[in-house]
Structure 1
Amino acid sequence: MPSSGRHVTMLTEGTYPHVHGGVSTWCDQLVRGMPEVDFEILALTGSGREPVTWELPPNVTRHTAYPLWGPPQSPAVRRPLRGRERRRFLDAYERLLLALLDPEADCDFGTGLYELAELARQGRLTTALRSERALRSLMWIWTMPHLPTLAARPTVHDALTATDLLEHALRPLAARIATGGVAHAVSSGLATLPALAAQHFEGVPFLLTEHGIYLRERYLGYRTEAQRWPVKALMLGFYRELNTLGYRKADLITPCNQYNRRWEERGGAPADRIRTVYNGVDPALFPEAGPEPETPTLSWCGRVDPIKDLETLIRAYAISRAELPELRLRLFGPVPAGNEDYLTRLEKLAAELGVADGVSFEGRVSDVPSAYAAGSVVMLSSISEGFPFSLIEAMSCGRATVSTDVGGVREAVGDTGIVVPPREPAVMAAAVSALLRDGARRAELGRRARQRVIDQFTLHRSVDGFRQIYRELAGTRPPRPAPAVTSLRLSIPAPRRTSPALVTGGTPA
C-alpha cells in the first residue's frame, strides 16, 4: 500500500470539514477527485463540538475532530514529573523557550519540540507545562538582562496566560497518524505538529501545502490581541520557529502560487523540495455567466471575516456610488461563528457612510456561479490570500474583476482584470469606476479571464498533480525506528531551583 500512495492523513486547522471557505473547497476537491485514495481527516478545531458542514465522500475512512480548547483528547496523566524526568523536561523546555525568545542563543527548537512530543504522546505534557517549575523557567528566561522582554516587566499573570496559550497550541503533538501512508498538512503552523512527530518517530512522509501564509496571518492577528508584549513575543516566536521547522523538515512543500514559494524559500525551505501546484476549478461547473445585471452591481463572494477587509470594499463602494448613484454592492457568503461582531461593524460602517440602502449581505448561497453572475464586476478586497478560489471561479464565469495585490492574486489574474493595492479604497474605487464606464472592456476582460482558467487553472490539472505527489512520497522512505533521545544540556547557567516565591513583579525572589 505505501508504494501506491493510497492512504493519506489530511491535517487541517479551522477549515475542512467544519467550515466553508477556499481552503475547505480545495480539500473537498482533492478528496473527491481521488476516489481510489483512502483519506483520514484529522481536523484541529476549537472545542471539538463544531458540526461537520461538508458531506464527506465514501473514501474518507475516518474523521477526527481534535480540539485545541475543549477537554484534552486523551486524559492527562496528572502524576507530576520527578527527579531525572523533571530535569530532562525542564532542560528541553528551557531550550525551546530560548529558541523562541533569544534566537542568538543557538538553541535548536526542533530538539526541544520532539522531547515535548514524547511527553505529549504519554499524556504527561499538560501537567508538566502547567507546573510551578515550568512557570519559573519561563519567568527566568523572560527576565534575562539581555532580552527585550525584561523591559516589559513580565508578571505571573503573563506567565500563566502564555503557558495556557502554549499548552493548548502544543496539544496536537499527542495526535497519532497512521503509518504506511502520507501525512498531508494543508497549512503551516499547528496542523504540522502531528506530521512532524509522525515523521520524526515513525518515518511517515510529510507533505506541506500552504494557501495563505500562516505566519504572516499570525502576525496580522496578534496586532489586535489584548495580551501584553511578553506573551505576544513568546507566541509569535513559537509560530515563527514552528513555521521554519515545518519548512525545513517537510519532504515536499506544495505552495499554490509563486508568491508563497518565495516566502517559503526565505523561511528556510530548500528550493529543491518546493513544487508549485495551482488551485483549479472545473470550467463546466462555473460556466459563462451571460448578460450582466440591468442595475450596475459589484458582487463579492467569500466568508465574512476580517482578513477579507470588507471595510475597504464598502468604503470603495461608497466612493463609486457618489459617481453612480444606482450602483449596488451584493456580498455573498456565510458569517463564521465568532465573526458576528465583525458583520455588525460592517453594517454600521455602511450606515455611517450613507450607503446602507445599497449594500446587501446575502448569506451563503448554494448556487455559487449565480453570485458571480449577479455582478457587473466581481470584487476581492482581502489583505491576505493564497490563490483564491473566488477569483478563479469568477474568472471562469467570464466576469471582469478588481482584486487586491496579495498572495497569488496577480498570478491568477494576469492581464485579465485590475489589481490594486490592499487597504486603499480610493484606488479600488477608481478601478471600479473605470470598468463601469467601459462595457466593451469589461466584456473583453471577462472573455480572456475564462480562457486563462481553461488554459492554466483547471481542477483536473490540480488533482492530477497531487495524485502523482502522493505516489512519489509514499515510496520515498521506509519505516524507521524512533531515534534515540538523549538528555539535553544547556550551555547557560541553570535557573535557581530553590523554590523561591514568585513576587508580584514576576521575577524570582
Structure 2
Amino acid sequence: MHVQHGVRRPGAAHVTLLTEGTYPHSHGGVSVWCDQLVQGMPDLDFEILAVTGTGHEPVVWDLPAHVRQVLSVPMWGEPPAGRSPRGRALRRLAAAYERFLTALLDPHAEDQFAPGLYTMAQAAAEGTLSPFLRGDRAIAILAAVWNRPGLAVREARPTLHDAVTATALLEHALRPLAAPPPRHGVAHAVSGGVAVLPGLAGLARHDVPLLLTEHGVYLRERYLGYRTAPYRWPVKALVLGFFRLLAEESYRRAALITPGNRYNRLWEEQGGADPRAIRTVYNGVDPTAFPPAGPEPGTPTLSWAGRVDPIKDLETLIRAFALVRAEISEARLRLFGGTPRGGEPYRERCEALAAELGHADAVTFEGRVDDIKDAYAAGSVVMLSSISEGFPFTLIEAMSCGRATVSTDVGGVREAVGDTGLVVPPRDPARMAAAALELLGDAERRGAMGEAARLRVIEQFTLRRTIDTFRSVYLELPSRARPPTAPAQPAGAGSLAG
C-alpha cells in the first residue's frame, strides 16, 4: 500500500523512518515513540517505509502533512513483482546465494554474508530475487550446502522439507530488499532486523546514512521466539544465523546507533558495534500529558497496560496475582490493552489460566482504553511482567502519573525506575507477588514512591529532551564523512553502486 500524503518542501531536512509491524499501522510503545518524533518535528519532512504483514493493514495514526508518503512493504502478502533470472545473471545470483547460505551455517565463512547480501539486494532491485528464492534452484543449493561434511547442522540430518521451509522463511525475510531504498536525507531504522534491509540498500546505493534505534533487542527477541517455533533445528539454525549476521552488519554499517538504554548498548557492542558510534537516548514523555493520577481505587488493584502478547508474559502476572489474592481476597487485576491480530489464542490461554487458578472473577481484560492515563489510575500499583523490553513507555508514563510500580528486570527497566519502584526477576511469580504485596500493604510507601517516580521523569525522561536530541542527529548525519558502505565483492558478483 502506497499512500501519498504531503508535498516535499525545498530545503527541509528529510528522514525516512524504517519500521516493522508498528508505526503507522498499529499501536504500541514503538509506534507512540515514532509519532512523538514525527509530531515534534514539523520543520522536517518524513517518509515511512513500513514492513507489514499483508500490505492491507490500515494506517491507524493521524499523520501530519509533513509526512510525505507511507509505503507498506508486505512480508506475507503477494510476492514482489519480477521474474527469475537467466543465464549469467542466474549463475551470479546462485553463486552469491550459496556464499550467503554458507556464511549462515559455517562460522569460518561469515565474512561472505555481506557480499552475498548486497548481491542479492541488487537482484531484488532488478525483480529477480524473490522469483529465484521461490524456485527449485534455491532449495537445491540449500540442500547441498547444509549437507557438506564438517558442518554441525549436517548431524541433524536436514530433510527436503526442512530445505523448503527454510528457503521460504528466507524469501519472506528478504522481501524488504525489493522496496525502493531511501535516496536522500537520513534513513532511521526504529528496530533491528528486516526493517534495516532497505536502509542498508540505501546506504550502499545512494550513500544515505543509516541511523539505528533498538527499543528492544531484536536479535534476543528472535532467539526467544524461535525457542518454541514449530521448526526443526536445521531450520532454526539457518534463520537465527541470518538474524545474527544481519544484526552484526547493521551495527557495522550504521553511522550512529541510539539504543534506548544501556542494556541494549551491551548487546550492540557484543555484536560488533563501535562504541564510539553508540549514543544512548532515553524515551521521554510529556509530564503535562501524564499528570498525577489522583486517588487510588477503593479496592486493592494491580493494573497493567500494554499489548496482549507472549513477550509481555501475562501468565506470570496472573500466577503472581493468584498468590496476592491468597493474602488479599478482595484484590483485583485489571489488564488494559489490545490484542493484535493472531494473538487471540494467547489471550484465551491467559483467560483460561485465570479460570484454572480460580480467579476469573477478579482478572479482567479491559481491551484498549481511550485514555491510557485511566489504565494507570485504575491501579494501586502498576505492573510490568515482560520477558523483554527496551525502555518501556508504559513504565515511564505510569511513573509520570505518580504510581508505584513493580517491574521485571529486563532491558532498561532498572535504568528507568531507579529506586522509585520495585524490580523483580522475570518469570518469577513468587517474587512478583511478594513485591506487589509489599507495596499493597504500605500506603505511605506507595505514595512516596509515586511522588519520587514523577520527579524522576521530570528530571530525566522528558519528551522535549528526546526530540531535541534526534533533531540534532537528523541534521548532523548527512554532513558526516562516512567510510565505504559495502564490502568488496568477488569479481562478477555485482554491486549496488550507481
Report TM bin, short chain: over 0.9
Report what 2:328 is aligned to. 324
Out of 78, 81, 86, which is 1:81 matched to? 86
For the residues of structure 2 that align with 1:387 and 1:481, how far apart are their CA atoms? 30
- What SS class does the counterpart of residue 340 from structure 2 fall into? coil
Query: Contact 2:12–2:43 at 8 Å: present in 1 too?
Result: no
Report what 2:254 is aligned to. 250
For the residues of structure 2 that align with 1:162 and 1:443, how far apart are their CA atoms? 53
Query: Contact 1:182–1:205 at 8 Å: present in 2 too?
Result: yes
For the residues of structure 2 that align with 1:222 and 1:361, how far apart are their CA atoms? 27
- What SS class does the counterpart of residue 286 from structure 1 fall into? coil
The one-letter code sitting in structure 2 at the alignment partner of 1:357 is D
Out of 395, 403, 407, which is 2:407 matched to? 403
Aligned pairs (5 A) from 1:80-479: 80-82=85-87, 84-477=88-481
The one-letter code sitting in structure 1 at the alignment partner of 2:214 is E
- What SS class does the counterpart of residue 86 from structure 2 fall into? coil
Out of 20, 23, 30, which is 2:30 matched to? 23
Report what 1:6 is aligned to. 13
For the residues of structure 2 that align with 1:480 and 1:149, how far apart are their CA atoms? 34
Q: Deviations over 1:236-261 (max 9, x none)?
A: 00000001100111000000001111
Aligned pairs (5 A) from 1:53-72: 53-72=60-79
- What SS class does the counterpart of residue 174 from structure 2 fall into? helix
Distance 1:99 1:433, change over 3 A: same
> How far off its partner does 1:105 sit?
2.7
For the residues of structure 2 that align with 1:266 and 1:189, how far apart are their CA atoms? 16
> How far off its partner does 1:360 sit?
0.7
For the residues of structure 2 that align with 1:221 and 1:466, how far apart are their CA atoms? 31
The one-letter code sitting in structure 2 at the alignment partner of 1:365 is V
Report what 1:506 is aligned to. none
My pick for the range that moved more, 305-314 or 107-116, is: 107-116
The one-letter code sitting in structure 1 at the alignment partner of 2:82 is A
My pick for the range that moved more, 179-188 or 399-408, is: 179-188
Distance 1:483 1:159, change over 3 A: closer
Query: Contact 1:4–1:474 at 8 Å: present in 2 too?
Result: no
- What SS class does the counterpart of residue 299 from structure 1 fall into? strand
Distance 1:480 1:96, change over 3 A: closer
- What SS class does the counterpart of residue 374 from structure 2 fall into? helix
Report what 2:5 is aligned to. none
For the residues of structure 1 that align with 2:260 and 2:377, how far apart are their CA atoms? 26
My pick for the range that moved more, 130-139 or 283-292, is: 130-139
> How far off its partner does 1:265 sit?
0.5
Q: Could you state the TM-score of these two structures normalised by the residue count of structure 1?
A: 0.93
Query: Contact 1:2–1:475 at 8 Å: present in 2 too?
Result: no
Query: Contact 2:182–2:199 at 8 Å: present in 1 too?
Result: no
For the residues of structure 2 that align with 1:278 and 1:125, how far apart are their CA atoms? 38
For the residues of structure 2 that align with 1:67 and 1:354, how far apart are their CA atoms? 42
- What SS class does the counterpart of residue 335 from structure 1 fall into? coil
The one-letter code sitting in structure 1 at the alignment partner of 2:71 is T
Report what 1:504 is aligned to. none
Query: Contact 1:162–1:235 at 8 Å: present in 2 too?
Result: yes
Query: Contact 1:96–1:107 at 8 Å: present in 2 too?
Result: no
For the residues of structure 1 that align with 2:411 and 2:376, how far apart are their CA atoms? 21
- Cα RMSD, aligned residues only: 1.9
Query: Contact 1:185–1:208 at 8 Å: present in 2 too?
Result: yes
Query: Contact 1:16–1:23 at 8 Å: present in 2 too?
Result: yes
Report what 1:493 is aligned to. none
- What SS class does the counterpart of residue 360 from structure 1 fall into? strand
For the residues of structure 2 that align with 1:168 and 1:325, how far apart are their CA atoms? 50
Q: Deviations over 1:264-314 (max 9, x none)?
A: 011100000000100000000000011111111000000100000000000
Query: Contact 1:299–1:375 at 8 Å: present in 2 too?
Result: yes
The one-letter code sitting in structure 2 at the alignment partner of 1:77 is R
> How far off its partner does 1:440 sit?
0.5
Distance 1:150 1:244, change over 3 A: same
Query: Contact 2:115–2:489 at 8 Å: present in 1 too?
Result: no
Query: Contact 1:9–1:177 at 8 Å: present in 2 too?
Result: no
> How far off its partner does 1:4 sit?
7.2
> How far off its partner does 1:160 sit?
1.0
Q: Deviations over 1:296-341 (max 9, x none)?
A: 1000000100000000000000000000000000000001110000
The one-letter code sitting in structure 1 at the alignment partner of 2:42 is P
For the residues of structure 1 that align with 2:482 and 2:184, how far apart are their CA atoms? 9
Relative contact order higher in (CA < 8 Å, ≥ 6 apart)? 1
> How far off its partner does 1:81 sit?
2.1
What 5-or-longer segments of structure 2 have no aligned partner?
1-7, 494-498
> How far off its partner does 1:482 sit?
9.3
Query: Contact 1:332–1:363 at 8 Å: present in 2 too?
Result: yes
For the residues of structure 1 that align with 2:124 and 2:357, how far apart are their CA atoms? 52
Out of 43, 56, 63, which is 1:49 matched to? 56
> How far off its partner does 1:137 sit?
1.6
The one-letter code sitting in structure 1 at the alignment partner of 2:266 is R
For the residues of structure 2 that align with 1:409 and 1:396, how far apart are their CA atoms? 15
The one-letter code sitting in structure 2 at the alignment partner of 1:229 is W
Distance 1:432 1:351, change over 3 A: same
Distance 1:468 1:3, change over 3 A: farther
Q: Deviations over 1:373-395 (max 9, x none)?
A: 11000000000000000000000
What 5-or-longer segments of structure 1 have no aligned partner?
490-509
